[in-house]
Amino acid sequence: MMKFAIVTGVSRGLGLSIAKLFMEQGVHVLGISRNKTDQLSRHAADNNVIFKHYSCDLADNSAINATISEVIADLNEQEVTGLYLVNNAGVIEPVDQAMNIKADDIINHIQINLTSSMLLMNAFLKKATMDDLLFIGATVSSGAAERPVDGWSAYCSSKAAVNMYTKTVALEQDERKTENKIIAFSPGIMDTDMQKQIRSSTKEEFAEIDKFKAYKENDLLRKTDTVAGVLVDIITDESSVINGKIYNVTDYV
């Protein structure tokens, strides 16, 4: 049994934790991120699994397409029995009042948070379908997909779109009676670099800044290993995954 997980944003934070936990369950990991970390190569060796890193800027569609081709070529060299995809990479910026946000910043945000995830999901769902592999794809969403947040017009919008994309692709799989499952996962508030970015905002840019500073001061931010454990457990319990569901970490921890 050779199951592979493709994970974006593996160099730090939640993506790093997800990759490690997959390895500990015997799943081989193909990591996509701009930066590389030696931690994962060592962790793969310790767990006797494969790890390969692909350097890719998810803001660049040509780079994404090239990386997809490279990953597929590498998968074709293996006896793959199942394929997971976790679209984890994402950005919070621009954080500001909508009327102050520049066009290029909106375009970059949507490209990273939404377009890249759709391109990767579409490509690897097709690959798995053509090869008759079980496929489970997950995209990291946010509670911000369900409620408006002052200063987060881009982030709330991109994550709401992620949820609708997830539900739509899941519907397509249901209609065709495949075994493929497409989900989204809201990880809640975690102790990550994204939270540092949020706390660096001004009150004018982000009205809830004091609330987010309090999360850190009161030690209310979850560890990424805890959150990753929930997601990896959901994905690897294949028969129990509910196609099209928007999972929330708060239902588990």
Strands 51-55 and 82-87 come out as: unpaired
Distance separating alpha carbons of residues 71 and 89, to the nearest angstrom: 17
Distance separating alpha carbons of residues 154 and 92, to the nearest angstrom: 8
Q: Select which of 54, 84, 155, 247 is catalytic.
A: 155
Dihedral sign of CA atoms 110, 112, 118, 119 in order: positive
94 by DSSP, 3-state: which? Answer: coil
Angle among Cα 146, 33, 250 to the nearest 5 degrees reads: 30
The answer to whether 184 and 117 have CB atoms below 8 angstroms apart is: no
Would residue 155 show up in a list of annotated catalytic residues for this protein? Answer: yes
The token duo for 139 is: 């995209």
Give catalytic residue positions: 155
